[in-house]
Amino acid sequence: MKKTKKRKKNTWVIIAAPMVAAVLFVGIFLTIEKKVLSNYEVKTVVTARVEIEEGTQVTKENVNELFTTTEMKTEYVIDNAIVNQERLIGHVIENRIHAREMISSADVTDRQAWVESLKQPVEFTFTASSVAASVGGSIRGGDVIDVGITMQKADGTAHFESIGRNIYVKEAYNEKGTAIPRSDKETVCTMFRVVMEQTEGEAFLERLRAGDEVIVTLPK
């Protein structure tokens, strides 16, 4: 009886060994095949045709001039890559993008959606005190700015007060009140048309009028 049991045990070992080897072979083969196939898998993503400046507004008119679609190996595709350039219309570029660079959702902001989300949006225009007090006149529509004022104290010293942060500039104007396009790098801007919630806008204008000097800066 003992010999019979030992023979059966040996028989199962002989049968099981090839089965285990076969399973391992199939597993290794599938892993290699998957790796080889992944090296050839491609995904269509949106890339920049040209250098795109921070604050550029993407419109129906310029989207095809700024972007194109490119096929890339999946292993090189970044997280949250944009795959449809039409999705970028209405967005603003957050950071400067280099030509042929892949575009991700982190590179753009849907400012139009933000404006539409305001319960009582108001637009108004104000002027900085000087070119030096407005980032050298380089601000353009689509930028985001911080605004502060200075007030003279009784002892003759100036006190600075921040009155608004991350304010969206809808349009930037020259001294004649003409809108300056983003492509214009030469014209100086000291006048800004901004958008904000009505209650915030009222408080902003009240503080603005109280200042002796209006200073515009870029957010840090």
pLDDT (0 to 100) of residue 12: 45
Per-residue pLDDT at 7 exceeds 90: no
pTM score? 0.63
Is 70:31 a contact under the CB 8 Å cutoff?
no
For β-strands 158-173 and 191-197, DSSP reports them as antiparallel
What are the phi and psi torsion angles at 131 (to 5°)? -65, -40
pLDDT digits (tens, 9 = 90+) for 53-63: 887 888 888 99
pLDDT (0 to 100) of residue 50: 95
CA torsion, points 198, 204, 208, 214, in degrees to nearest 10?
-110
pLDDT digits (tens, 9 = 90+) for 138-190: 999 888 899 999 998 888 788 899 999 989 999 999 989 999 988 888 999 99
**Rounded mean pLDDT of 110-139?**
89
The model's confidence at residue 40, banded by pLDDT at 50, 70 and 90, is low
Q: Which CATH architecture has domain 42-110?
A: Alpha-Beta Complex (3.90)
**Rounded mean pLDDT of 30-46?**
67
Cα dist. 94→52, 89, 216 in Å? 10, 14, 19
